[in-house]
Amino acid sequence: MYKTKPGPLSGLTVLDFTWVLAGPHTTMTFTDLGATVIKVEHYTRGCHERWQPLQVEKEQVTQSSYHIHLNRGKKSLCINLKEPRGIAIIRELIQKSDILVENFAPGVMAKLKLDYESAKQIKPDIIYCSISCFGQTGPDSNKPGYDVIAQAASGWVGLTEAKHPAPVAIGDTVAAMHACTAVLAALYHRMLTGEGQAIDISMVDCLFSIHETAVPAYWTSEAAGKAVITPVNGQKSSTAAPYGIYKGKNGTIAIAILSQTRWPELVDLLGPECAWLHDDPRTREVSRRCSPESAPLVHEAVEAWVMAQDSVEEAERRLLAAGIPCCRVKSIAELATTDPNIGARGMRLEKVQPFLGPVKMFGSPLKLSQTPGDVRGYAPFLGENNEEILSEILDYKPEDISNLYRGNVLYHAPEVERLPRWLEEHKEEEGD
């Protein structure tokens, strides 16, 4: 039977005040790495992710694909923060936690008296990570923002010919990975010094910092005397060739060569009519080929060759045989079901989600040899872990917990009552 190995963050406790994506993606990563993550959820309604699409219903329980994948392995605490006893419980949990992550708009946690300065008074060595669109300081810090706002504000949308945002939330997920890096660095600093600290992660900062060519080219050329504006991109790079998405008879294919290596092989593959690319000064060397002036010549020749093939599969076969980096554009359905590499890399796992049954989900991309990232449990139901958290972490007695329910401080969803029986009936399906 498959056995999950302990993660490198086993023994750490994370208090999770996050919603939508940037914050939940950060804390999901900590969960995959073995940390205990306590998801603090809105009283009676729960976290925002529970209401995101796709909503599915089975066995009279409605669940969200968004929640199932982002909150897997976490523990749900559904608590009323408008009640003084609710805030008191959170303050007790801060004392027991190593890390606190929040991604509300700047100022929200301060209104609850749960901002960094307040948390530091409770636990001086707390590592407190705040993620927001524009950051905690600066003239735009109080502006509301989502992923598409960050993409526009950071210049990413401006780099595209059609001014389209990326089809996935790169602002949220890039910020999440920067947040993870910063927290791990802060943990190392605390290990050496005993000091905790605040971390301020801006989605705009993170996206701006990973501009590969446009911003560095502007600054470097500016220093040399005249700033250069990089042309915008469409399906193909405006400054590198061949580099982009090329159309074929039955689909599209990505082809990329950014060095002199394999360029002669590609030109030979294109056929006699393209032999001029070997010696033409505009295309002979990579430094000239990868320029706004020359790139369109190469793109035109490569796409004409792809279109002349019977299929993109045939184009891919011939390119790979010549050692040229390429991949036909794959569909979501293929990747979700049959793609062999995704399966072999453990990125398409099947786990049991109560009331839904076996469901495929992302494996962890963090492949550590001794302490790998892994899926460490199903996504919790609202308030499922209230009693566990209060009794095991804070030593509350059963009667204390009952009083909190009666006082409208704690809540759990109706399906939590049915959960033990469901788990018992399906325990052989759980796998690990």
DSSP 92: H
Q: How far is CA 106 from the centre of its chain?
A: 21
**Residue tagged 């972490």 (tokens):** 393
Kindly give the pairing relationship between strand 13-17 and strand 99-102: parallel
Is residue 189 helix, strand or coil?
Answer: helix
Please name the amino acid found at residue 86.
G
Tell me the CATH number of domain 243-247+252-328, given options 3.30.1540, 3.30.450, 3.90.930, 2.60.40.
3.30.1540
Question: Quick one: tokens of 3?
Answer: 């056995």
Please give the chain's pLDDT, 432 residues, in tens: 356 789 999 999 999 999 999 999 999 999 999 999 999 999 999 999 999 999 999 999 999 999 999 999 999 999 999 999 999 999 999 999 999 999 999 999 999 999 999 999 999 999 999 999 999 999 999 998 999 999 999 999 999 889 999 999 999 999 999 999 999 999 999 999 999 999 999 999 999 999 998 999 999 999 999 999 988 888 998 888 999 999 999 999 999 999 999 999 999 999 999 999 999 999 999 999 988 899 999 999 999 999 999 999 999 999 999 999 999 999 999 999 999 999 999 999 999 999 999 999 999 999 999 999 999 999 999 999 999 999 999 999 999 999 999 999 999 999 999 999 999 999 877 654
Q: pTM for this one? A: 0.94
CA dist 382 → 40, 90, 236, 242, 352 (Å): 10, 17, 46, 50, 17
Q: Does domain 13-209+342-429 have CATH number 3.40.50.10540?
A: yes
Is residue 326 helix, strand or coil?
Answer: strand
E strands along 218-300, which residues? 243-247, 252-256
**Rounded CA separation 151/210 (Å):** 12
Check the CA dihedral 178-179-182-188 and report its sign.
Answer: negative
**Rounded CA separation 384/422 (Å):** 14
Question: Quick one: tokens of 370?
Answer: 């001794």
Residue 105, judged by CB atoms within 10 A of its CB (0-12, 13-18, 19+), counts as: middle
Question: Quick one: tokens of 97?
Answer: 């936690």
**Residue tagged 């009283």 (tokens):** 43
Question: Quick one: tokens of 359?
Answer: 């469901």
Do the Cβ atoms of 130 and 107 come closer than 8 Å?
Answer: no
Sketch the domain layout of the chain as residue ranges.
13-209+342-429, 243-247+252-328
Give the neighbor-by-neighbor strand order of the sheet with 36-41.
75-78, 36-41, 13-17, 99-102, 127-132, 197-202
**Rounded CA separation 24/361 (Å):** 16
